[in-house]
Structure 1
Amino acid sequence: MIVQNSKSARILFSVTPINSSGILQLDSGEFSDQFAGHLQTEAAAASRLVTHTDHQVLVRDGRSGDRLGTFHQRLGRILEAKPSPTGDHVFLRTEDGPSWIWNWSTNETVLVTGDHNIIHATAFHPTQPQVVYGGDDGVVGARNFATGARLKPFSCPGEISQLIYNPAGDRLLVISSENRGFLLNSDSLDVVTEFTSPDHTFNRAVFVADGKRILTYRRSTSTLACWDAETGELIHQVESPGGKLRLAVGVLGTKAVLASDQAGLFVWDVVSGQLVRRAAGSYAAVAFLDHETIVAATAHPFARLARNQRAKFGPPQLELWNVGDNSAEPQRVVTLQGAVHTLRITDDPNRILIGRRHFPLAVYDSQNRKPIGQIRGHAAPISFAALLPDRNEIVSCSYDTQVMIWDAKTLRLKRTLASHRSPITSAAIAADGQMLASADHDGTLNLWNLDAENQPDPLYHLDAFEEPIEGCSLSAFNARVVAYTQRGQWNVWDTTSGKPAQWDAEKQRVAFAEFQPDGSRLLLVPSSRDTQRFPSQIVSPAGKVVQLKLQRYPL
């Protein structure tokens, strides 16, 4: 998206998402440290923080934030930089390039790419200097990273999807793409037991706290299953709530929590096999703070939703829930900027490792084309932005449901208007900059008075349609607003009353509708490709029609 106003010397560009990470102090809701790049949350404690970009890995002190080591990868994009339990070694997994075991304190590396063409999964032993890795050839390799020696490999059908050690470290779980799980002796890599089910597909697994049961699932819709870790027998299975799933297991091993980006939060009693919904909404990550308290991060779309997709979205936040009671509301809410996609509790429960993603607007000087700065605050792609030179403000709307007003000089957030209930798909600003119309995926149309700085709620909240709104437009003097949907429905409303306006034009389905900027006439472009029978029209409120011979689609 590129936006420029003829009265302004600035241009707005929507740019690619920016990944950042940091440590959230839960008691204050403030970040003590923030870093660029992907945060690897597999570390057992915050004594070492590992972040990576496409070609660089940084190791920092978890308390001070000081840089301890840097690794540059020239060939291939870094997909993962997983630290060992002690934090002294990092496994660098790359795409189309060499993969390494890196000792950041000595800057020594061990090349492991020769064992596999593509590495999909890695795991460090919880107590020994040993790492395992598996790839597309179905072979699990093992290295002693203290000596560099290779250990006996293990082979299975299909690709390796996941590797995970049990809490004691004496068993290694291998999940293959052939819907099979293998529990191995972690020293010899010999098979102890195997489990599979034709009725239950899985590509992810987790041990419960005592290591006696294994929970399996898919990231996408499927059933959830609980297995006996010693015999490989299926104990029970439950239906998945749907959507992309994240799973966390409590420290007592009796409960697990599922976070779905479409269906909400669910508590899974792994002893009885019951799955109980705790909250509706959309969630991206979840973790246990203690045996009764969980922290969950709300999810946001990273692209435009499908027409029939329905999910409840809200502003980016962390929610604290007690899984032992039946309260319908979280105990506490921490409001954040940026979409949280990963989180992990450290050895200090007040310090939470968080990985976030921002969707910024870049601001450039239109005369010398030099960057002025970036606006960062939205947790999902930006669907609308406008410059208001007379007010010295910038308005932005996003799929994260939020409308934000920014100072055009400092690029700082001035205020946030009340959120929509679903992603904002389009918006329109009045010619005088006094009124804003914003429309969302659920068919809601909100009208805002931008002059009322102390009024965060809309003038009118219109349940305009029962399907996503594609676009909207305001007439001259802010008298009327038009909105149209993805299926071509359209209507006009009076902005002073919030009621449908009298309009004599025939309601044919349209692909586009927009008011004349300085008048009340309306341009309607039909959705039909037959421009002879259904030409584009300019219509007035009284029904006067001017037909236009516009080519609807290129030849």
Structure 2
Amino acid sequence: MKTEFKFSNLLGTVYGRGNLVFTPDGNSLLSPVGNRVTVFNLTKNTSYTLPFSHRKNITHLDLTPDGNLLLTIDEDGRAILSIFPRRLAIYHFTFKSQISALAFSPDGLHFVVGLGRKIQAWRTPSTPSGDANGDLEFAPFVLHRDYGGHFDEVRHLSWSGDSRFFLSSSKDLTARIWSLNPEEDFEPTVLSGHRQQVRNAWFSASQESIFTVSEDGALFRWEFVPSPQDEEDAAEPGDERWRIVQREYFMQTAKLKCAAFHPNTNLLTVCFANGLFSLYEIPSFSNIHSLSMASSPISTVAINKTGEWLALGSSKTGQLLVWEHASESNILKQSSHLDSLTTISYSPDSTRIITGADDGLIKIWDISSGFHIATFTEHSSAVTASAYSRRGNILFTSSLDGSVRAWDMLRYRNFRTFTAPTRLSFSCVAIDPAAEVVCAGSHDSFDIHLWSVQTGALLDQLSGHEGPISTLAFTPDGRYLVSGSWDHTIRVWSVFNRSQSSEMLQLMSDLLCVAIRPDSAQIAASTLDGQLTFWNLNTSVQESGVDGRRDVSGGRTLTSRRTAASTPGTKSFNSITYSADGSCLLAAGNSKYVCLYSVTTLTLIKKFTVSVNLSLDGTQEFLNSAAIMSNGLPSAMMDTEGEASDLEDRLDKSLPGAKRGRDATARTLRPEVRVTSIEFAPTGRSFCASSTEGLLIYSLDDTGMEDFDPFDLDIDVTPQNIRAILAQPEPEYLKALIMAFRLNDKSLLRKVYQSVPYDTIPHLVRELPKVYLGRLLLLLGQQMENSPHLEFALRWVGELLSVHGRYVKERQGEFASELRAVLRGVDGVGRTVRTLSERNAFEIEFLCQQASVKDSSALSPSGEEQKTLTNGFEDGDVADDQGEWMGID
């Protein structure tokens, strides 16, 4: 079995904190999710997560106007510069302090950052130019200028259209105008007059006006006008100043949290703490729309380049919304779980993942697109376990609300609810392969409850355990039910026999989880002492065991006085699962590590680190005495990441001993990194882990990375030579294609692929060396997903499989990821054609109905008129060949 699993995508969370950014073409949206960045393609309905990560949560990100460079900054001011189209981090930099604002200039040559009360302007590092003869150079960050003058933290920065000036808004109730370079007759100007902190400030499209909004909902328009007392003598240049020419108020009781302005369309979007957002046209201040996203505050808002789409994010509820104001419709509406994930399940075809969480919600995630497509809200308490039927049409979930529910995955509805005679909180669930019997266990009762799926009736209660039931699983062949308990035993039940006997396997500690090998011959058990034991299911004899305490141990908590190696709570596996072929076992627990073991050799093959985010508890390994305050508590225990966005709102300033004014439920501890559930995909090509940060997917398949991966290069293989070959009167397409494969440049491959004539495809495929088959399959899969030339791509696939199909089939293990890419492309083409045909059928049916309605509604002539029209023609009418009349209009 291959074990080169790499991080593929992050699901289960769509927005954490920070600002949202649209790409220059407006088709994609960048959203910070913890210490990573997720990109949502709004036109293709797909998403992916950039492979690099910060050491803490991301607070600011921005793209250059050409969309090539992405700058992300975390809580400590550490920045990563990356080439966005290639998803490649190229430079790490630190600003030495926290960043409060970030903005690239419209020309892309500079960017400004706010560091507390200070502002810095930096030169943007150069990137390779698009010209074939362009120089490849890269300069690290170079400081251009320092600016000072504000008396409190800078909250927002924005540029003028010509990139000569920029505005800063601060918590000191003022906004200021700065010039990037020294300008003649220009001095930095202070715009004061607001009664609360200025949230945002922008230039108009003509740069003749400035708009500022403050936290109390006031909008001021500033213009460079003469002094009122000197209007008669306005010829003197010294009398002109930036003055308030218009004052408007939004009249909202809630605080203004964020705002965005689109200069070309003069549209202003303001968002408030009660979840309301409004769209205004300025300077007329006419309200176009006022809608509510949620009851929680809106943390950030962004507008795409054309001004058509608004992106809104709520940090408290983890919601992300893209709204088109012209059509008043949602382009994207995604939401995260409100609490930590507890269970995950793959669908049998490996296309979807089901997640359950402590918030009682069940979400269905599409793996290929990265979006959740349905949410079940019937459970009233935490979801504890989930299981799919073998056919994939039924999902079973258990919850602490005392119910086990069956869900129809075709119609997305709850069609059966199972309950016990007494109120119990179910902790685990299992379904037999035939989907006829469902069973559940509880921490409140020592019995196992069995129900009939068809009737919903309680069939039996299996007694025998002397402690709470922790795990249940049916063998894949359906013969036995395996249960584990805290009474240090595993019981193997013959549920479908008349005697319903059970066999007991004795362990040395409390049982946490069991897994059954796909061939139903072996059981793996994880216990509280960190041991993994393997039992033969046929002989009930223990075959082997692994001590995993040292492997899984890692990460100390914030209040722990021990190092990670001595922390007792992370030394056991809470979730284990077999691979599809049964050769490997995946195990995880309350730590940041996921361990992959070989079942035959009992060795640790690979260790995956779930997160390096220091904003989470449990990621550090050693004690740091410098982080301990004078009262003996860690400085990180001061809640600076709470629900309130401003630091002064998060600090608890109530007097000691006073109950009034103190929130007793305020959380002062950070979330702890842990893995609650793991599962292998039925195909064996990927596995997923539900962690504190979300749903992490690790895959063997190509994740779409556009890294430079040269193959068999020589001095003649250059982009210039490839373009020269295509420009010849009789191009050598095969040679150009092979050279492009050796360079592995995405744009060159697409150019050569689309340049091949339709009639030349069979000859080129027959002459292609077999060493390039994998690369051609991968290219075809990518092009079928992204290109509109459907027949052209299908001709490539058909010819390749007809010529090299036997060779690929004999080595299908080597071409597994490439064939999956082609399969995804073919499925996408099928869905596209099916959607188009259905739409055309509906339109044709609609047109036919309209024609029949029109014919029936037309007034038919009377009998005398009919005779006159058919026997004699009126003036201006002509007869056709059949003698019928037709009017000339």
Distance 1:462 1:444, change over 3 A: farther
CA offsets, 1:77-121, max 9 Å, x none?
Answer: x35432222222222235x69653222346014334652332222
Partner of 1:472: 427
Which of 70, 89, 93 aligns to 2:114? It is 93
Within a 5 Å distance, the mapping from 1:102-501 to structure 2 comes to 102-105=122-125, 107-112=142-147, 115-147=150-182, 151-155=188-192, 156-185=194-223, 189-199=242-252, 202-207=256-261, 210-212=264-266, 214-218=268-272, 220-222=274-276, 224=278, 226=280, 228-229=282-283, 234-235=286-287, 238=290, 240=292, 242-243=294-295, 284-286=320-322, 296-301=331-336, 303-304=338-339, 381-384=340-343, 397-399=355-357, 401-402=362-363, 420-422=375-377, 425-428=382-385, 437-439=396-398, 445-446=404-405, 461-463=415-417, 472-474=427-429, 480-481=439-440, 494=451, 496-497=453-454, 499-501=456-458
Q: Say if 2:37 and 2:49, in contact at 8 Å, map to a contact too.
A: no
Partner of 2:36: 19
Q: Distance in 2 between matches of 1:28 and 1:516?
A: 37
Q: Compute the displacement of 1:183 (Å).
A: 1.5
> Between Structure 1 and Structure 2, how many residues are aligned?
376
Partner of 1:341: none
Distance 1:27 1:260, change over 3 A: closer
CA offsets, 1:311-361, max 9 Å, x none?
Answer: xxxxxxxxxxxxxxxxxxxxxxxxxxxxxxxxxxxxxxxxxxxxxxxxxxx
Q: Compute the displacement of 1:295 (Å).
A: 7.7
Matched to 2:211, the amino acid is: L
Distance 1:398 1:183, change over 3 A: farther
Q: Say if 1:422 and 1:441, in contact at 8 Å, map to a contact too.
A: no
Q: Compute the displacement of 1:493 (Å).
A: 6.3
Distance 1:20 1:241, change over 3 A: closer
Matched to 1:139, the amino acid is: T
CA offsets, 1:260-295, max 9 Å, x none?
Answer: 879xxxxxxxxxxxxxxxxxx99613266x987988
Q: Compute the displacement of 1:158 (Å).
A: 0.8
Distance 1:217 1:448, change over 3 A: closer
Find the residue that maps to 1:101 and give its secondary structure: strand
Matched to 1:191, the amino acid is: I
When the two chains are superposed, the root-mean-square deviation of aligned CA atoms in Å is: 5.9
Distance 1:447 1:503, change over 3 A: same
User: What TM-score results when the alignment is normalised by the length of structure 1?
Assistant: 0.50
Unaligned 5+ runs, structure 2: 1-11, 14-32, 126-140, 226-240, 347-352, 462-466, 473-480, 487-889
Distance 1:384 1:93, change over 3 A: farther
Q: Distance in 2 between matches of 1:260 and 1:442?
A: 31
Distance 1:419 1:282, change over 3 A: same
Q: Compute the displacement of 1:419 (Å).
A: 5.8
Unaligned 5+ runs, structure 1: 1-13, 263-280, 305-380, 388-394, 406-411, 450-454, 486-490, 505-511, 524-555
Matched to 2:166, the amino acid is: V
Q: Compute the displacement of 1:445 (Å).
A: 4.2
Q: Say if 1:418 and 1:458, in contact at 8 Å, map to a contact too.
A: no
Bigger Rg, which one:
2
Q: Compute the displacement of 1:122 (Å).
A: 1.6
Q: Distance in 1 between matches of 2:371 and 2:195?
A: 53
Q: Distance in 2 between matches of 1:23 and 1:241?
A: 19
Higher relative contact order (CA 8 A, sep 6+): 1
Distance 1:247 1:475, change over 3 A: closer
CA offsets, 1:501-539, max 9 Å, x none?
Answer: 2799xxxxxxx985797999999xxxxxxxxxxxxxxxx
CA offsets, 1:435-477, max 9 Å, x none?
Answer: 985347999844599xxxxx99999853569xxx975334899
Which of 56, 60, 68 aligns to 2:78? It is 56
Identity %: 8
The structure where strand makes up a greater share of residues is 1
Q: Distance in 1 between matches of 2:485 and 2:87?
A: 57
Q: Say if 1:221 and 1:242, in contact at 8 Å, map to a contact too.
A: yes
Q: Distance in 1 between matches of 2:195 and 2:39?
A: 39
Q: Compute the displacement of 1:481 (Å).
A: 2.4
Q: Say if 1:123 and 1:132, in contact at 8 Å, map to a contact too.
A: yes
Find the residue that maps to 1:299 and give its secondary structure: strand
CA offsets, 1:49-81, max 9 Å, x none?
Answer: 2222333223444555676765312233x3543
Q: Compute the displacement of 1:195 (Å).
A: 0.5
Partner of 1:509: none
Q: Compute the displacement of 1:235 (Å).
A: 5.0
Matched to 2:322, the amino acid is: V
Q: Say if 1:482 and 1:493, in contact at 8 Å, map to a contact too.
A: no
Find the residue that maps to 1:169 and give its secondary structure: coil
The structure where helix makes up a greater share of residues is 2
Q: Distance in 2 between matches of 1:521 and 1:501?
A: 21
Which of 60, 66, 81 aligns to 2:102? It is 81
Structure 1 stretch displaced more, 184-193 or 30-39: 30-39
Matched to 2:249, the amino acid is: T
Matched to 1:71, the amino acid is: F
CA offsets, 1:383-414, max 9 Å, x none?
Answer: 23699xxxxxxx98345844799xxxxxx99x
Q: Distance in 2 between matches of 1:89 and 1:67?
A: 19
Q: Distance in 2 between matches of 1:137 and 1:493?
A: 66
Q: Compute the displacement of 1:191 (Å).
A: 1.5
Q: Distance in 2 between matches of 1:116 and 1:476?
A: 64
Distance 1:24 1:170, change over 3 A: same
Q: Compute the displacement of 1:138 (Å).
A: 0.7
Q: Distance in 2 between matches of 1:416 and 1:513?
A: 37
Q: Compute the displacement of 1:140 (Å).
A: 1.2
Q: Compute the displacement of 1:159 (Å).
A: 0.9
Partner of 1:373: none
Distance 1:28 1:492, change over 3 A: closer
Q: Say if 1:283 and 1:296, in contact at 8 Å, map to a contact too.
A: no
Find the residue that maps to 1:190 and give its secondary structure: strand
Distance 1:122 1:219, change over 3 A: farther
User: What TM-score results when the alignment is normalised by the length of structure 2?
Assistant: 0.34
Q: Compute the displacement of 1:151 (Å).
A: 0.8
Q: Say if 2:61 and 2:102, in contact at 8 Å, map to a contact too.
A: yes
Q: Distance in 2 between matches of 1:153 and 1:173?
A: 13
Matched to 2:105, the amino acid is: S
Q: Distance in 1 between matches of 2:267 and 2:374?
A: 42
Q: Say if 1:471 and 1:513, in contact at 8 Å, map to a contact too.
A: no
Partner of 1:374: none
